[in-house]
Amino acid sequence: MELKNIYFVLILGLSGPILLILSEFFTWFSDYNLIELYVLYTDLQIENSFLYLFPLISGIICLIANVLVIYRLEFRIKSIILSFVGLGFQLLFFIDYISQEIEFINNAGLGLYLGVFGFLLIIINIINVLSTVEDDSGG
C-alpha cells in the first residue's frame, strides 16, 4: 500500500467513529444530549433507555475495527464485519429514534449532523477498504 493511501485510510477510518462518539455528547432534537436522555430514561423506562447509548456503542465498535486495520492489514475483512455490526446498532438507533422525533426534524441539533456524517464516513471507509482488498489480491 502506498504511504499516501495508508494515511487516507487512517484519517477516514478514525474520523467516522470519532464523530459518531462525539454525537453522543451534543443535542439531537431536545435540549438534552443522548447521555442525559439515557440517565433520564433509566429512571422512567429502563427498556427504552439503552437506545440512547447506541451511537456511543456503535462508534466504539467501529473505532476498534479501524484500529485492527491499523494494527495489521490482514485483519481488514474482520474489521469490515465489526464495522457492519457497529453500523447495525447505529441504523437501529436512526430508525427508532428519528421515527419518534420526525416532527421535530426542523429543530435538529449538532448531534444529528455529527451522527449522520460519521455514519456516512464509516460507510465510505468500508467501501474504500473493500476496494483496496480487491486491488491487493488482483496484483
Over residues 93-111, mean pLDDT: 80
pLDDT confidence of residue 138 = 47
What's at 26, amino acid-wise?
Answer: F
Cell 491487493 -> residue? 136
- The string of pLDDT tens digits covering residues 5-28 is 667 777 888 899 999 999 888 888
**8 contacts: CB under 8 Å, gap ≥ 6:** 128
Considering the entire predicted model, what is its pTM? Answer: 0.82
Instruction: List the chain domain ranges.
Output: 19-138
Question: Closest Cα to residue 23, out of 121, 117, 126, 104?
Answer: 117
Mean pLDDT on 22-46:
81
pLDDT for res 58: 92
Q: How far apart are CA 69 and CA 115, in angstroms?
A: 22
